[in-house]
Amino acid sequence: MWAFGRVSGFMSLALFTVSVLLGILNRSGRPLLVLPRFSISILHRNIAVLATVFLGLHVGSLLLDSYAKLRPVDVVVPFLGSFQPFWQGLGTVALDLVAAVVVTAFLRHRIGQRTFKAVHWLTYGIWPVAMAHAIGNGTDAGSAWFLGLAAASGVAVVSALLWRLSAAFLETSKAREGNFL
């Protein structure tokens, strides 16, 4: 259970990273190589769902593990844990927010674009929280392969974010500059 909890946590973070990157790419309105825009959209969703499944396995397996000493209340309320309450609490925060993002994403057509968008924006906050939880709480946080992958994901997400904030982000940004002269 302990090993499984570690691996599933890592898988979840890696998949969430990919999903965040695809989400930003999706927002730009650009297709990726051979992938059309709607495929990126579906891929973004499916990878996020898969990441959520791994997150469920991560929490579920550690809840059953005697070594992790996780109580049911730790799944919902952060910073009450017995071991490294702060770093573990970050994981709880991420879990709760991911639940909100996933539920609102599936109810997008019912709750409307505005609410969906407001909650979906939380993702930009969740990713660093989840990463901090992995680095601060993870057993493998000291190993080179983990740090390497964490650094690579960090660079990827930060560059995607800078691209997102740049003027040339939208596929149609050039056409929409407005050449009135």
Positions that interact with another protein (CB under 8 A): 26-27, 29, 31, 36-38, 41-42, 108-109, 112-113, 171-172, 175-176
Query: Token match 């057509």: residue?
Result: 109
**Whether 149 contacts 141, CB under 8 Å:** no
Shortest Å distance, C-beta 45 to another protein? 9
Look at residues 71, 72, 93 and name the one whose alpha carbon lies nearest to residue 82.
71
Measured from the CB atom, is 144 or 176 closer to another protein? 176
Measured from the CB atom, is 6 or 108 closer to another protein? 108
Shortest Å distance, C-beta 97 to another protein? 21
Shortest Å distance, C-beta 23 to another protein? 10
Shortest Å distance, C-beta 122 to another protein? 17
Print burial letters for 71-102: b (CB count within 10 Å at least 16), e (below 16): eeebbeebeebeeeeebbbbbbbbbebbeebb
Measured from the CB atom, is 41 or 56 closer to another protein? 41
Task: Indicate the DSSP class of residue 62.
Answer: H
